[in-house]
A and B are shown apart, each in its own frame.
Chain A
Amino acid sequence: MKIGSYLRWLKQIQDSNFTFLHPPHPHEAGKPVLRLENVSVEYESGVALDNLSFELCPGERLAVLGPNGAGKSTLFKVIAGVLRPSRGLVEVAGYEPGKHICIAYVPQRSQVDWNFPLRVTDVVMMGRVGRIGLFRFPTEKDREIVQRALKTVRLETYANRQIGQLSGGQQQRMFIARALAQEAELMLMDEPLTGLDMNAQKELFDILDTLREQGVTVMIALHDMKIAAERFDRVVLLNQRLIGLGSPEEVLTADNLLMAYGGHLQLVTTKNGTIAVSDTCCDEGEHEHF
């Protein structure tokens, strides 16, 4: 990552309680894994999130939908405890997110420096850094956990590859392995499907099914509403404020979509129902204010 973008977002890191000073908080049983109450985020350039409230139960898989600039990345950064909301309350397993190390953020592939001299295992081992602790080195146990994580995402034969030599789908799976090594219970994935072919997408969802069995809660920012409708039980539609939350049938209605996408969306009615065609796409734009 270049120093420019690096310093820009460093400005926004909150001064969290560091793990080596305060051990991570235990989880309160019976609490929702995630709870947002009237969360708002304002940048100098304007409002990014407006009065958001919702809850997530452990093991849920939620698609986060919305046009560019809807605040999907901002929402993830707030939940990850990397950005402090201007107003409102965020709780992960009953405590503020800055006290957890079980929240994994999987970056967009375009945000990563793929030339960095790292092998796949090195990146997955990074997930262990918070648990290993300052001034210590990985033990045999850490290496085993990394191996197991690589196996779960079916990358064990790629362990010694340089990260730039992986395909898009493999790169995405490597980050999932890193989240597993981190022992993440809440995973935030920013546009993981961008640039992946059908096969790679299917592989990714197979792995996400395994994660669901293990009780990992996953939030995925998406552009493709068809995939959201097919693969998710619950979706949330955002455009700075929350437009809809629920099953795809409830949320992805013509009215809601028009409200979220405005002029950027065309609705085509066919005999099979309503098809939404969005002309916004992919990476850029949303990250301008970072």
Chain B
Amino acid sequence: MSIFDTILQPLQYAFMQRGIMAAILVGIVCAVLGTYVVLRGMAFFGDALAHAILPGVAIGYLIGGGAREPLFWWALLTGILSAIGIGTISRSTRIKEDTAIGIIFAGMFALGIALISSVRSYTVDLAHFLFGDVLGVRTSDLVLTAIFGTLILLVIFLLYKEFMVISFDPILAATLRLPVRLLDYLLMILISIAIVVSLQTVGVALMVAMLVTPAATASLLTRRLSTMMILASAFAALSGIIGLYLSYYLNLASGAAIVLTCTGFFLMIWSSTSILRQKTR
């Protein structure tokens, strides 16, 4: 089998085409937002938010009886409410923010599992949302992903300089009279939308990798925020494609294959930059 066949053969299946498109879209959106997650040290927040939408997914599933749309909207609602909840609790009480995140994260995740366990027959389907099912993406899912993904990228583009200032120097942002809190909540809400949109690709459990790993890889290679976003998107999109091929040929779970490819890129870049740095010393 030639290299051409290796590449083209999986593409004759429509589910592979849709899967690859979804993986690329989701990869880019998560990587761009992930740049802020990495720079602001919000990895734990991202992980928690991904887990916290599980009850929304469960309720959407139970109400919609398997239809995708209610599930999406319920997940979105839960994600946004969790983001605001975590932000408010960590800000207004004497509890430290990582503790607040831990409490909401575990509580919501448990609620999700409890809801799922109450209806045994749905268990298998809902497992897809824990670990992702990118090959089950339908055209309507793809459209939703594209719409919300574009929306997120547009907001990031329009508020690029504001998000940069609140991330680097919040006191400056306040003296420039920027709406710091509003922007802060907006960023958290964007992250939760990205998580819901990516749900089908990698699932709740591995979501944090899509947010953190490509951005961290890019941070090793550049000293500019905009370049970091572009590089992170490239790593994420490539990981999506390579991961899906690995999944096809080696018969691996698709979400895991994508995340493992991301991790592979990170280890490769990290080790080569470390070696280079030692040589130049």
Contact = CB atoms under 8 A, between A and B. Distances in A.
- B96, B172, B178, B184: residue with the most chain A Cβ atoms closer than 10 Å: B172
B234 to A, nearest CB: 16
B166 to A, nearest CB: 9
A81 B178 CA distance: 12
Contact of A126 (B39, B172, B181): B172
Contacts of B224: 117-119, 122
A216 interface: no
A10 B176 contact: no
Contacts of A256: none
A11 B175 contact: no
Contacts, number: 119
B225 A118 contact: yes
A261 interface: no
Given A19-B176, A130-B177, A162-B223, A9 B171 contact: yes
A22 to B, nearest CB: 9
B162 A116 contact: no
Interface in A96-132: 98-101, 103-105, 107, 112-113, 116-119, 122-123, 125-127, 129-130, 132
A81 B222 CA distance: 35
A29 interface: no
Interface centre among B45, B164, B170, B177 (most CB of A within 10 A): B177
Contact of B165 (A6, A18, A126): A126
Given A7-B97, A16-B177, A116-B39, A129 B170 contact: no
B91 A11 contact: yes
A13 B173 CA distance: 11
A142 B178 CA distance: 18
A19 B97 CA distance: 29
A110 to B, nearest CB: 14
Interface string A1-40: 1111011011101011111100010000000000000000
B158 A135 contact: yes
A129 B161 contact: yes
Please classify how large the interface on chain B is, using the bins under 10, 10 to 19, 20 to 34, 35 or more.
35 or more
A129 B162 contact: yes
B169 A107 contact: yes
Main secondary structure of the interface of B (DSSP, over half): helix
A82 interface: yes
A118 B41 contact: no
A182 B176 CA distance: 8
A117 B39 contact: yes
Contact of A4 (B97, B159, B167, B170): B97
A1 B91 contact: no
Contacts of B168: 1, 113, 116, 118, 123, 126
B219 interface: yes
A126 B164 CA distance: 8
B107 interface: no
A6 B170 contact: yes
A119 B222 CA distance: 11
Contacts of B170: 1, 6, 9-10
Nearest to B92: A11
A134 interface: yes
B114 interface: no
A259 B157 CA distance: 54
B228 interface: yes
Interface in B126-163: 158-159, 161-162
B175 A24 contact: no
Given A80-B174, A119-B224, A122-B225, 16 more contacts: A3-B97, A7-B91, A13-B180, A18-B178, A80-B171, A105-B171, A105-B175, A113-B168, A116-B167, A116-B225, A118-B164, A118-B225, A122-B164, A126-B161, A130-B177, A134-B162
23 contacts: A1-B40, A3-B97, A9-B171, A10-B91, A10-B170, A10-B181, A16-B174, A18-B178, A80-B175, A100-B177, A105-B172, A107-B169, A113-B39, A117-B39, A118-B223, A118-B224, A122-B224, A126-B169, A129-B162, A130-B176, A132-B161, A134-B162, A135-B159
Interface of B: 39-42, 45, 90-92, 96-98, 158-159, 161-162, 164-165, 167-172, 174-181, 184, 219, 222-225, 227-228
